[in-house]
Chains A and B, each alone.
Chain A
Amino acid sequence: AQKITQTQPGMFVQEKEAVTLDCTYDTSDPSYGLFWYKQPSSGEMIFLIYQGSYDQQNATEGRYSLNFQKARKSANLVISASQLGDSAMYFCAMRGDGPESGGGADGLTFGKGTHLIIQP
């Protein structure tokens, strides 16, 4: 079965520093997608960034970039110049379209999340 591992339950970072949130994944699907979501204390899930398994370049979206290392099965999120408003839970997720995913029918598999706190 697909699995997402986020090894950092919580992180404290000084404002304006760069942050790297770790994510490793396990799947035997040949094709898959990797996602990062942010969940503020208000509870909604906000999409941040997507990386396809066949994408040659690392994805970037503003201050967010995804450090994709396919051989290591890692998809770390990098936030540059952190801001107080970045304080939230961050979830790594994946979706495949092979037999392990039921042909992609089962939505996203989420990790346990990392609680990021930005300190002034």
Chain B
Amino acid sequence: EADIYQTPRYLVIGTGKKITLECSQTMGHDKMYWYQQDPGMELHLIHYSYGVNSTEKGDLSSESTVSRIRTEHFPLTLESARPSHTSQYLCASSDLAQGNSEKLFFGSGTQLSVL
């Protein structure tokens, strides 16, 4: 059902590297989100966007940045990866018009390991 895609699925990278996690959706949704999830733990919102040129920080402070130049694309960038960034990153989108029943559609996630 969900048409939201994340790449790469797994990424192992050395400390100090710049990385971009890709997220695209084909549902025309206005809102997009990035959540961070450590193993066996809850999801924490790190960024969200209402639409093109809109980006907001979430509840959990993050050293990552996001951009929203196109409706369907919401990439997340880490300028200098550190071992503390090791986590799963989940992208989601939703239809702003749904109000309280706003259901989030999630991608398959990117498992990031920083050595």
Measured in the bound complex, the distance between the Cα atoms of B94 and A105 in whole Å is: 12
Known interface pairs A43-B88, A106-B48. Does A53 touch B43 (Cβ–Cβ under 8 Å)? no
Q: Decide if B77 is an interface residue (CB 8 Å cutoff).
A: no
Q: With both chains docked as a complex, state the minimum distance between the C-beta of B28 and any C-beta of chain A, in angstroms.
A: 18
Measured in the bound complex, the distance between the Cα atoms of B43 and A104 in whole Å is: 17
Q: Decide if B106 is an interface residue (CB 8 Å cutoff).
A: yes
- Quick one: which of B62-78 are within 8 Å of A by CB? none
Checking B42, B102, B103, B108 against A110 with a beta-carbon cut-off of 8 angstroms, the contacting residue is B42
Checking B40, B94, B101 against A52 with a beta-carbon cut-off of 8 angstroms, the contacting residue is B101
**Chain A, residue nearest B111 (CB):** A43
Binary per-residue interface labels of chain B (26-40) against chain A in the complex, 1 for a CB within 8 Å, 0 otherwise: 000001010100001
**Chain B, residue nearest A53 (CB):** B100
Measured in the bound complex, the distance between the Cα atoms of B50 and A95 in whole Å is: 16
What is the interface residue range for chain A against chain B?
20 to 34
Measured in the bound complex, the distance between the Cα atoms of B45 and A53 in whole Å is: 23
Stretch with Cβ within 8 A of B (4 or more), from A14-22, A29-37, A64-72, A73-81 = A29-37
Is B33's CB under 8 angstroms from A107's CB?
A: yes
- A residues adjacent to B (C-beta < 8 A): 31-33, 35, 37, 42-47, 50, 52-53, 89, 91, 95-97, 104-113, 115
Q: List 21 A-B contacts (CB under 8 A).
A: A33-B100, A33-B102, A43-B88, A45-B92, A45-B106, A47-B104, A50-B103, A52-B100, A53-B100, A95-B102, A96-B100, A104-B99, A104-B100, A107-B33, A107-B35, A107-B58, A108-B45, A110-B43, A111-B42, A113-B40, A115-B40
